[in-house]
């Protein structure tokens, strides 16, 4: 019996010894294992570290925060703001930070500021007119009657010296008889004294000069001198080759001295008179080349030269008239035709330029958005100069190589574009930088971004330009379905809208808590 007990005690002692040795071994190894585990899991734990919750902000963008979750007056949950959100905010009050996904959704594109040669083309509307120096009027200087017409239709081409019409004038017949009598007197006084001959010769010369002063052709005068016979009618001929552009003569009519009976225009060369905008007239010089296109001949381009810039401005159109002269082969160019005039203008060296689409013009100032880094922009006022079709000269405000924003699809229409751009990006450019409050910074991060919703109109206040809408969830703002009041960007958006109408609309936050509808589709 004692032997059995002794054996049991020995077994227990051996078990205790083995267990104690194992425990001591594990204890000795624990610091090393823990250090190894710590070294292995340390970076992983840092990577997977969750962002720190700072506070909860008002879902409508109001400057109201809460340290604990809560709901606003419309039952909407406050939105959690983490330290990573605040870290993404711009470091300066006049800068705007936009996340990469928002930049992509908004369709933002940038282009560098560059030195360019600003060759451009000035375009103006014009009209074809006859050359005023090539217009001739046929107006007899005596009273008479039209006896016969040789050219009896307007638009008929004539050559120089071609008969136009014949006239009868008692004054003309009397003057011819006076000349004939004086010529006979000279012959009969050949044997008389010198004073008598000299007086008669002067009478002949005077009669002949009066005939010439009445525009009697040299050929007719010579025939009268040779024959000495008085003719009842005289023929008027065209003084130039051209087109009869005006005809008042009618066979048998009586005319008075100075009355225009025919107008003949030489259209072998014409003018194109163009109206150049006031801001472009300083670039147009005499002698500049001009290209003219006529709607009647779309495949032809006519070349001319600027010969005169008129000294006066037309107040109605704020334009200055420019005269272009050009040949008219084949008489293709007809007076009163409309013309499209292009005046190439040479640049004065290399100038700093940006795309025209990069400029946001508020009417009182011009702003461009400069990309400082990926997703970080700064609104900057600029002083502009001349414009071309695609680029505008920047005199102050930018440097060569800086990148400017040229396109963003949240700019919807001219009015809302300006308010969104100036209110969202440019309002801080003239403000004094101040310390950034985390709540305000979080609120600004959703400003100036367009949101979309579908809903139904409950009521409309045309005087206040507001509309109450029951709309569905807005994913971009994490809003649930609810009923709220919106302002509209302009009164025209309310046209044809009635309570109960279903619609899709887009809106922006113009300032904290003020939601403005920029477009509506029924």
Question: pLDDT value at position 32?
Answer: 42
| Candidate ranges 40-54, 78-92, 433-447; pick with highest mean pLDDT | 78-92
SS (H, E, C) 64-112: CEECCCCECCCCCECEEEEHHHHHCCCCCCCCEECCHHHHHHHCCEEEE
Contact 308, 281 (CB under 8 A): no
Would you call 412 helix, strand, or coil by DSSP?
coil
Closest CA to 216 of 195, 191, 234, 197: 234
For the cut 80, the answer to whether the pLDDT of residue 508 exceeds it is: yes
- Helix (H) / strand (E) element for 463: namely none
pLDDT digits (tens, 9 = 90+) for 112-127: 988 887 777 889 999 9
Report the share of the chain in percent with pLDDT over 90. 27
Token duo for residue 12: 């227990």
Given pLDDT bands bounded at 50, 70 and 90, which one contains residue 412?
very low
For the cut 60, the answer to whether the pLDDT of residue 23 exceeds it is: no
Output phi, psi for 312, to 5 deg: -120, 155
Q: What is the DSSP string of 7-56?
A: HHHHHHHHHHHHHHHHHHHHHHHHHHHHHHHHHHHHHHHHHTPPPPEEEE
Give the separation between CA 69 and CA 147, rounded to whole angstroms: 109
What is the pLDDT averaged over residues 476-482? 85
Burial of 333 (0-12, 13-18, 19+ CB in 10 A): buried
| Candidate ranges 167-176, 230-239, 290-299, 457-466; pick with highest mean pLDDT | 290-299
What is the pLDDT averaged over residues 107-113? 82
Token duo for residue 465: 């330009």
Average pLDDT, the chain: 77
Radius of gyration of the CA atoms of the chain, in A: 48
Q: In terms of pTM, does the model score above 0.75?
A: no
What is the pLDDT averaged over residues 100-104? 69
Would you call 373 helix, strand, or coil by DSSP?
strand
Question: pLDDT value at position 31?
Answer: 41
Give the separation between CA 498 and CA 469, rounded to whole angstroms: 11
Give the separation between CA 455 and CA 466, rounded to whole angstroms: 15
Give the separation between CA 363 and CA 347, rounded to whole angstroms: 27
Give the separation between CA 398 and CA 391, rounded to whole angstroms: 14
Output phi, psi for 153, to 5 deg: -135, 145
Question: pLDDT value at position 39?
Answer: 41
Closest CA to 418 of 426, 428, 406: 426
What is the pLDDT averaged over residues 96-118? 75
SS (H, E, C) 257-316: CCCCCEEEECCCEEEEEEEEEHHHHHHCCCCCEEEEEECCEEEEEEEEEEEEEEEEEECC
Q: Are strands 338-345 and 350-355 parallel, antiparallel or unpaired?
A: unpaired
For the cut 70, the answer to whether the pLDDT of residue 2 exceeds it is: no
Contact 324, 304 (CB under 8 A): yes
Question: pLDDT value at position 347?
Answer: 65
Q: Which of 265-274, 308-317, 349-358, 446-455 has the lowest mean pLDDT?
A: 446-455
For the cut 50, the answer to whether the pLDDT of residue 500 exceeds it is: yes
For the cut 80, the answer to whether the pLDDT of residue 398 exceeds it is: yes
Q: What is the DSSP letter of 494?
A: G
């Amino acid at each position: 019996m004692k032997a059995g007990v002794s054996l049991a005690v020995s077994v227990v002692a051996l078990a205790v010894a083995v267990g104690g040795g194992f425990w001591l071994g594990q204890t000795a190894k624990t610091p090393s294992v823990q250090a190894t585990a710590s070294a292995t899991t340390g970076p992983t734990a840092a990577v997977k570290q969750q962002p720190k919750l700072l506070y909860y902000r008002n879902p409508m963008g109001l400057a109201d925060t809460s340290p604990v979750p809560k709901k606003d007056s419309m039952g909407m949950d406050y939105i959690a703001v983490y330290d990573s959100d605040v870290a993404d905010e711009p470091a300066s009050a006049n800068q705007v930070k936009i996340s990469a996904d928002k930049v992509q959704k908004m369709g933002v594109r940038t282009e560098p500021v560059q030195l360019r040669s600003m060759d451009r083309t000035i375009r103006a509307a014009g009209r074809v007119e006859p050359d005023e120096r090539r217009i001739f009027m046929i107006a007899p200087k005596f009273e008479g009657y039209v006896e016969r017409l040789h050219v009896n239709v307007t638009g008929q081409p004539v050559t120089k010296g071609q008969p136009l019409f014949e006239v009868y004038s008692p004054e003309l017949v009397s003057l011819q008889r006076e000349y004939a009598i004086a010529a006979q007197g000279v012959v009969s006084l050949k044997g008389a004294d010198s004073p008598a001959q000299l007086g008669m010769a002067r009478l002949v010369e005077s009669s002949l000069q009066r005939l010439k002063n009445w525009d009697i052709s040299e050929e007719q005068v010579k025939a009268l001198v040779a024959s000495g016979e008085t003719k009842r009618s005289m023929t008027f001929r065209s003084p130039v080759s051209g087109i009869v552009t005006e005809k008042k003569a009618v066979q048998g009519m009586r005319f008075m001295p100075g009355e225009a009976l025919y107008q003949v225009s030489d259209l072998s060369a014409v003018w194109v008179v163009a109206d150049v905008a006031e801001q472009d007239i300083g670039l147009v010089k005499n002698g500049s080349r001009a290209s003219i296109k006529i709607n009647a001949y779309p495949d032809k381009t006519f070349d001319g030269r600027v010969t005169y810039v008129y000294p006066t401005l037309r107040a109605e159109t704020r334009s200055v008239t420019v005269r272009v002269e050009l040949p008219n082969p084949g008489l293709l160019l007809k007076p009163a035709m409309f013309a499209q005039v292009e005046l190439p203008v040479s640049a004065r060296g290399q100038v700093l330029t940006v795309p025209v689409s990069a400029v946001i013009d508020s009417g009182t100032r011009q702003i461009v958005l400069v990309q400082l880094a990926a997703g970080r922009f700064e609104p900057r006022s600029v002083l502009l100069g001349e414009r071309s079709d695609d680029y505008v000269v920047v005199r102050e405000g930018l440097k060569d190589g800086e990148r400017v924003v040229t396109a963003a699809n949240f700019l919807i229409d001219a009015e809302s574009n300006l308010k969104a751009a100036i209110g969202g990006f440019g309002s801080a450019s003239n403000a004094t930088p101040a310390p950034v409050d985390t709540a305000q910074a979080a609120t600004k991060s959703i400003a100036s971004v367009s949101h979309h919703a579908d809903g139904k109109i409950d009521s409309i206040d045309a005087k206040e330009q507001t509309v109450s809408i029951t709309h569905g969830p807005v994913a971009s703002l994490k809003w649930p379905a609810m009923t709220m009041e919106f302002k509209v960007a302009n009164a025209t958006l309310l046209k044809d809208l009635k309570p109960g109408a279903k619609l899709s609309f887009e809106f922006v936050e113009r300032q904290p808590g003020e939601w403005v509808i920029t477009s509506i589709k029924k």
